[in-house]
């Protein structure tokens, strides 16, 4: 695998599909932003003329070889040395950068409100990214060199890759070479079996890895917007295997990929399934308690599950882990949040209601266009212009193994913006009950990622102020969204930040008292879980019991349901 492929995989792994992509980013609003910019051009010609003159001045400097315009250090598009020494390519690059700079200053000069400016900036940057000279063969010296060195074979391979994407990938540029991966063969290989199954989910119990196990079992609650096997992705980064090595009896919910006929599955129904699943777990293990974890949108389901149990006076859950998860999304959390409007939310709700589902492919396409340089143009250059295969990266294989969302669940997720059920305890009916996380008093472990732009860490931190838990551990991993989750011991670059005191009201206060710790946070989490998992007992000889015998081998059938 080439260095470029590795970089492509690492970059895209930071941009996995998440809840932000479904929160009402309406194309009508984006087209409205274009119309608004055109209106400003005609309504305020003096402003437009000023910035056109500034662009003209930049062009004159470029032609006279007096321009100092240069790409930002993080912009990888112009790394080829040709852009530095070839005057034609240097001028082309600088002209593009001049357009980019002057469009930005023009937008900053327009009299727009915050949301209008955010949308206009988003749309204009998307357009500017698309016209980068590096996206074309003639404007990309590295691609021309490769074509020459390969005798034109790179161009033929690029055409083959483009044809394959058109015929086999819904017209989307491929982010991953899927051929090396087989679920159940080299992904999701931990031993176990389905011990309970409904139309909505399969409950998998994994075989013990130690002679003795803790009395309190552990349940992983995955997101509904991705397949559950990310928790057992590969042997070297399997959460399931790590938990088994600690002597924990581990269960995993594997959600079914819903179809149109499942349009009425909402968050309340998913929570009810978790109650049934936990009943089965307690029966199989003969325990009165279980520990649970939820990541990303699975954390929303987990928090709702906990709130529902608290409203029922049910104390079956012992300790809780929430990972890269935002419970009270706010518009200033991310670039996407600034684009969300009530109008957009309602349009998104209406569209999925009409179809019955929010299709996984559509969700992936929408998310890709939110970060086109990272998730589209990088791959256009690599796959089509350079004629290289995308990287065979297990995280990207999983991320591209998309699932649908039922219309009702999508609607429930959309309600989180206007209703803020978790941030308004005892005031909002959500998922069939009045939500109140202040009644949730379980010991809580929260993990977030420093460079996570999908669930920003400061937004994740707010969870510590929403719950009634007296004992909360907040850990900040020095990584992005998926790397914060899949962070096994052994990486010499791994580190995290910890503040051992009670989480203060603000992130600034927390960070002021935090210390940097080398290594993986999994080790700390493992100690935390073992201290809350009860006494040791002999491991069961087999999974399940008489009432819930072992069925299909892990990862179950729903891992393949597409």
| Share of residues in the chain with pLDDT > 70 (%) | 93
Question: Are 558 and 403 within 8 A, CB to CB?
Answer: no
Q: How far apart are CA 341 and CA 331, in angstroms?
A: 9
Of the candidates 213, 274, 296, 375, the residue annotated as catalytic is 296
pLDDT score recorded for residue 298: 95
Element housing 378 (H / E) = helix 378-379
Alpha carbon distance 402, 17 (integer Å): 9
Closest by Cα among 322, 371, 379 to 14: 371
pLDDT in tens, 504-533: 999 999 999 999 999 999 999 999 999 999
Q: What is the pTM of this model?
A: 0.89
| pLDDT (mean) for 86-94 | 96
Q: Count how many residues are written for the chain.
A: 562
Q: What is the pLDDT of residues 36-52, one digit of tens each?
A: 777 777 777 888 899 99
Long-range contacts of 307-315 (CB under 8 A, 24+ apart): 307/422, 307/433, 307/435, 307/436, 307/437, 307/439, 307/440, 308/271, 308/275, 308/431, 308/432, 308/433, 309/275, 310/436, 310/439, 310/440, 311/433, 311/434, 311/436, 311/439
Does the pLDDT of residue 1 top 60, yes or no?
no
Share of the chain above pLDDT 90, in %: 73
> Is 296 annotated in the active site?
yes
pLDDT band per the 50, 70, 90 thresholds, residue 22 = low
pLDDT greater than 60 at residue 18: no
For the chain, the average pLDDT equals: 90
* Residue ranges of E strands in 301-355: 317-323
* Per-domain residue ranges of the chain: 12-141
pLDDT digits (tens, 9 = 90+) for 142-185: 999 999 999 999 999 999 999 999 998 888 899 999 999 999 99
Rg (CA), the chain: 25
Contact 381, 134 (CB under 8 A): yes
Q: What is the pLDDT of residues 187-232, one digit of tens each?
A: 999 999 999 999 999 999 999 999 999 999 999 999 998 899 999 9
Q: Flag whether pLDDT at 7 surpasses 90.
A: no
Q: DSSP for 176-193, please give it.
A: S--TT--BTTTBS---EE
- Does the pLDDT value for residue 336 go beyond 90? no
């Amino acid at each position: 695998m080439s260095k470029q492929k590795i970089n492509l995989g690492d970059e895209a792994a930071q941009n996995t599909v998440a809840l932000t992509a479904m929160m009402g980013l309406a194309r009508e609003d984006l087209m409205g932003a274009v119309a608004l910019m055109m209106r400003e051009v005609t309504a305020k010609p003096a402003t437009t003329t000023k910035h056109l003159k500034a662009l003209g001045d930049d062009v004159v400097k470029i032609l006279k070889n007096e321009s100092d315009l240069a790409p930002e250090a993080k912009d990888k598009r112009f790394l080829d040395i040709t852009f530095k020494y070839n005057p034609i390519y240097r001028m082309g690059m600088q002209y593009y950068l001049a357009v980019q700079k002057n469009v930005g200053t023009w937008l900053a000069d327009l009299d727009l409100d915050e949301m209008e400016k955010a949308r206009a900036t988003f749309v204009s940057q998307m357009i500017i990214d698309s016209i980068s000279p590096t996206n074309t063969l003639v404007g990309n010296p590295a691609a021309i060199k490769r074509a020459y060195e390969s005798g034109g074979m790179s161009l033929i391979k690029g055409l083959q890759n483009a044809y394959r994407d058109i015929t086999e990938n819904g017209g989307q540029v491929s982010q991953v070479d899927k051929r090396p991966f087989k679920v159940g063969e080299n992904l999701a290989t931990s031993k176990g079996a389905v011990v309970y199954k409904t139309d909505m989910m399969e409950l998998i119990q994994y075989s013990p890895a130690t002679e003795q196990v803790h009395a309190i079992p552990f349940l992983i609650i995955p997101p509904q917007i991705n397949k559950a096997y990310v928790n057992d992705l590969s042997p070297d980064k399997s959460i399931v295997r790590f938990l088994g090595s600690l002597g924990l009896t581990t269960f995993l919910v594997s959600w079914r990929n819903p179809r149109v006929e499942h349009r009425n599955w909402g968050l309340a129904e998913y929570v009810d399934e978790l109650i049934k699943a936990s009943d089965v777990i307690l029966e199989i293990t003969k325990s009165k308690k279980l520990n649970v974890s939820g990541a990303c949108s699975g954390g929303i389901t987990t928090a709702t599950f906990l709130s529902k149990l608290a409203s029922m006076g049910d104390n079956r859950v012992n300790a809780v882990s929430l990972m890269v998860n935002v419970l009270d999304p706010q518009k200033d959390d991310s670039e996407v949040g600034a684009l969300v409007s009530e109008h957009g939310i309602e349009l998104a709700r209406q569209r999925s209601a009409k179809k019955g589902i929010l299709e996984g492919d559509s969700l992936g396409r929408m998310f890709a266009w939110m970060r086109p340089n990272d998730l589209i143009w990088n791959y256009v250059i690599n796959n089509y212009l350079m004629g290289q295969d995308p990287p065979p990266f297990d995280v990207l294989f999983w991320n591209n193994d998309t699932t649908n969302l039922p219309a009702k669940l999508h609607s429930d997720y959309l309600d989180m913006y206007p209703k803020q059920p978790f941030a308004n305890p005892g005031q909002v009916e959500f998922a069939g009950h009045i939500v109140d996380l202040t009644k949730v008093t379980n010991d809580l472990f929260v993990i977030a990622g420093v460079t996570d732009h999908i669930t920003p860490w400061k937004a994740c931190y707010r969870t510590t102020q929403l719950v009634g838990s007296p004992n909360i551990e907040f850990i900040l991993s020095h990584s992005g969204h998926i790397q914060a989750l899949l962070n096994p011991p052994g990486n010499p670059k791994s580190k995290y930040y910890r503040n051992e005191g009670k989480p203060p009201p603000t992130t600034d206060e927390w960070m002021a008292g935090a210390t940097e710790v080398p290594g993986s946070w999994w080790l700390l989490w493992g100690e935390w879980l073992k201290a809350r998992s009860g006494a040791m007992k002999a491991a069961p000889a087999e999974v399940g019991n008489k009432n819930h015998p072992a069925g299909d081998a892990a990862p179950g059938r729903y891992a393949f349901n597409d």
